[in-house]
Chains A and B, each alone.
Chain A
Amino acid sequence: MRNSTQKLSYLQAIVEAQREEMRRDERVILMGEDIAVYGAQSLFDEFDHSRLRNVPISENSFTGVGVGAALTGLRPIVDLTIASFVYLASDQIINQAAKLRFMTGGQLKVPIVVRTSTFYNNRTAAQHADRPYPLFMNIPGLKVVAPATASDAKGLLKAAIRDDDPVIMFEDINLWGKKEEVPVDVDFLVPIGKADIKRAGSDATIVSVAGCLLPALAAAELLAREGIDVEVVDLRTIAPMDKETILASVAKTGRLVIADNSHKVGSVASEIAAVVSEEGFESLRKPIQRVATPSVHIPYNQALERQLYPTKERIVAAVRAIL
């Protein structure tokens, strides 16, 4: 049992993570818009409905309700559905959840998980397609995770639910249907703050942020056919960042490309580049390359939209530029 797996999609893995943690700990509750219809139907069949709250469309307040419940003995999961809606809730996330422990001199714990999905590459246009991880990595007191595989989604969500601090998990709808073998052990956790080397290599490092893992791995495959051996580091946790793994990889390869689908200015890639410049400069043989989304809004038009995010081709070109 301990080492067995089951084939689950990324989305199924998220549901299973919630189911296992709700079984394990009765303090865990789930709140969100239309969760009885989308995402958590099977949880309604199993659990007391007092722990499953279909909420009115009041993002800031229902997120704050989750914070208030977290301060008073529960471990809420708040599903904010679409990452562009997080702005509505950002007051409660930033001014309350992230700050209350500090502001009370450590008297309070805030064990809340805010889940949200990046709804990009899906013809949803500029008010649904945001990938706002960098805004939240700039907030002290928050942990920010962005898994790119079903196993990591399950293990990171379970770790987030068990963590005593506020965690935001950015899920990627482009990965919802991707299936893989996922551990069934109820204590399978992916540690927060630990990047994962998804492909070992020695010629260059690609650090992928969130859903950029897939084009990063595809780029590595393509380059491998030419004998270029690329290491792909899946960041997994955006804050706190696993600098050690990144710096160790760059020390080995001397070359760094960062693939990040957030907007390039002030991106996660920018922070990684800054850290490596400060602490790993001697390892670098060529300038760091950021492959990110340009600073324009996401258009409805599909052909235009697809060009904006880091693609396999853009990542390959960035690696070639520093070989």
Chain B
Amino acid sequence: MSLDRSQQLELYSRMLRIRRFEEAIVAHYPVGHLSIGQEGAIVGACMALRDDDYVTGTHRSHGHPIGKGAAINPLMAEIFGKRTGICKGLGGSMHLTDTSLGLICESAIVGGGFPLATGAGLSIQVRKSDQVSLCFFGDGAANQGTFGESINMAAIWKLPVIYFCENNGYAVTTSVAASHGQPDIARRADGYGIPGVIVDGQDADAVYEVTQAAVDRARAGEGPTLIEAKTYRFDEHSNRLAIPIRYRSDEEIAFHRNERDPITLYRARLVAGGLAAEVEAIEAEVTCIMADAVQFAKDSPEPELSDLTDNMFSNPINFPVTREGIFGDA
């Protein structure tokens, strides 16, 4: 099954929104871990999901809500730490979580999302719903214990979960070759008795197709799938991180930027398909969306101390803890 033209344009728009969102961050509020270079994998996967399907993500969080179609203003305001942010300025760059679109956690503990996505799958199964749960994770996370523990449980119980690896080649500076016994993370699926699929993460249509197949399988009650999208991080691990060693060559980075940019590749495909005018309209629209979002974020108020206590508990008991308020000093 493949995407129709309007869906392909939406896919392009979402990839471009991630790219322009992060370029705006670099220009106006330089924090965080950028997904630039990985947009094809993220959006290709999200296009196979419904709004009510669950997603868990990672510290490299910006792409996931945008890929799921989230409104940009609350995401940008969150980057700026503002009260109008999607998490009221309490979560920030590593945790852009828009629960209205099924996102339940962007975990900055590497591997933290595996159990949560699996638990969402369990919930779907117990409630006899036809939703699915998709777990984005990186190549580094595959070396956490939660990877095997969680996939094993999903396999035993045939949970509707898609484990989706954005393999960008490096865990901070440590290459896949230096940290994995064999280079294909998807091959580990065999150890849990589930399908494992490798896909070119820079080809968004191809990513969509394998994800859709895994989603169909999950909705049919046939259990989880492990997908590994081979992708590439164009920028450093983190926006402000000084890397004192050369862990990848300039030629390697240049190759991916110049030859393997998922947005450039997808744009060429759309233009070749006769959609040049639509593509240009999307580009103009996305530029406006980001300008508006930056202005919205700049104009928004800061959170208050009371927001800290107000968001601790659903059912506060004896709280704040002291009669003097949050600090409790005499």
A→B interface (CB under 8 Å): 29, 50-51, 53, 55-56, 58, 60-74, 76, 91-92, 95-96, 100-111, 140-141, 143, 163-165, 191-193, 240-243, 278
Contacts and interface: CB of A to CB of B under 8 A. Distances in A.
A111 B315 CA distance: 10
Contacts of B157: 53
B71 to A, nearest CB: 14
Which 4 A-B residue pairings sit nearest by Cβ, starting from the closest?
A: A68-B119, A64-B115, A105-B88, A61-B149
B145 interface: yes
B317 A193 contact: yes
B318 interface: yes
Interface stretch (B18-26, B103-111, B239-247, B260-268): B103-111
Nearest to A111: B314
Contact of B91 (A64, A72, A103): A103
Contact of B105 (A65, A73, A96): A96
Nearest to A242: B318
Interface stretch (B122-130, B166-174, B203-211): B122-130
A308 B125 CA distance: 47
B120 A64 contact: no
Contacts of A29: 126
A71 B90 contact: no
B85 A105 contact: yes
Contacts of A66: 119
B242 to A, nearest CB: 26
B232 interface: no
A101 B311 contact: yes
Given A60-B146, A67-B116, A92-B112, A104 B87 contact: yes
Contacts of A72: 54, 104, 119-120, 123-124, 133
B290 to A, nearest CB: 22
Contact of A73 (B89, B123, B133, B152): B123
Nearest to A244: B318
A107 B119 contact: no
B97 interface: yes
Contacts of B121: 68
A108 B85 CA distance: 15
Contacts of A165: 313-315
A107 B126 contact: no
A103 B90 contact: yes
Contacts of A243: 318
A29 to B, nearest CB: 6
Contacts of B145: 58, 60-61
A103 B314 CA distance: 13
Contacts of A67: 115-116, 119
Given A63-B115, A64-B119, A68-B116, A106 B109 contact: no
Nearest to B307: A105
A66 B265 CA distance: 41
A109 B107 contact: no
A278 to B, nearest CB: 7
Contacts of A242: 318
B315 A60 contact: no
B142 interface: no
Nearest to A63: B115
B254 interface: no
Contacts of B117: 68
Contact of B318 (A70, A106, A193): A193
B95 interface: yes
A68 B152 contact: no
A49 to B, nearest CB: 11
Given A56-B149, A62-B153, A92-B112, A106 B88 contact: yes
Contact of B107 (A61, A96, A143): A96
Nearest to A61: B149
Given A64-B146, A72-B54, A105-B90, 20 more contacts: A53-B157, A58-B150, A58-B152, A58-B153, A68-B56, A68-B115, A68-B122, A69-B126, A71-B119, A74-B123, A100-B104, A102-B312, A103-B87, A103-B95, A105-B88, A107-B87, A108-B97, A165-B313, A165-B315, A193-B317
B317 A68 contact: no
B310 interface: yes
Nearest to B114: A61
B127 A73 contact: yes
Given A66-B119, A68-B122, A72-B124, A104 B149 contact: no
A240 B118 contact: no
Contacts of B90: 102-105
B99 interface: yes
Interface in B295-318: 307-308, 310-315, 317-318
B255 interface: no
A143 B317 contact: yes
Interface in B19-36: none
Interface string B77-107: 0000000011111110001010100001101
Interface in B126-181: 126-127, 133, 145-146, 149-150, 152-153, 156-157
29 contacts: A53-B157, A56-B156, A58-B153, A60-B146, A61-B146, A64-B118, A64-B119, A68-B104, A68-B119, A68-B121, A68-B123, A68-B133, A69-B119, A69-B120, A71-B104, A71-B123, A72-B104, A74-B126, A74-B127, A92-B112, A100-B104, A101-B312, A102-B311, A104-B99, A105-B87, A140-B312, A141-B312, A242-B318, A278-B330
A67 B118 CA distance: 10
Nearest to B315: A164
B321 interface: yes
Given A68-B116, A68-B120, A240-B321, A107 B149 contact: no
Given A61-B118, A64-B115, A96-B112, A105 B314 contact: no
